[in-house]
Structure 1
Amino acid sequence: MHKFVAKLHTTLVAREKGATAVEYGLMVALIAIVIIVAVALLGTNLSTLFNNTANSV
């Protein structure tokens, strides 16, 4: 019985590590999407701001 519990524990721990890697992968993907959207939205505004500043100088 002790061997069965040990094997079950090993199997569950291995699955938990795999799930953690998947969760980290999803978090990295979501962060990348947020960064891309922020750069796309703010990039145009910053470019306009710098062009206006350069023209006024």
Structure 2
Amino acid sequence: MKKLTAGWRSFWRNDQGLGTLEIILIIAVVIIIALLFKDWIIELIENLMGKADDEANRIFEN
């Protein structure tokens, strides 16, 4: 049991390469969220672009 505990302690103290792993996990989570909400994100962007286009047309027509 002491060897196991010592192994875990050395594992958590050794942070070499931990930054890379964190970056990969963050990217994976962002990709998963983007895939889950893909349709909603596309609809939101199209809606915003449509409103911006309508507003630009209204401004430049006057």
- TM-score normalized with structure 2 length: 0.44
Pick the structure with more helix per residue: 1
Q: Normalization by structure 1: what TM-score?
A: 0.46
The answer to which structure, 1 or 2, has the higher relative contact order (CA under 8 A, 6+ apart) is 2
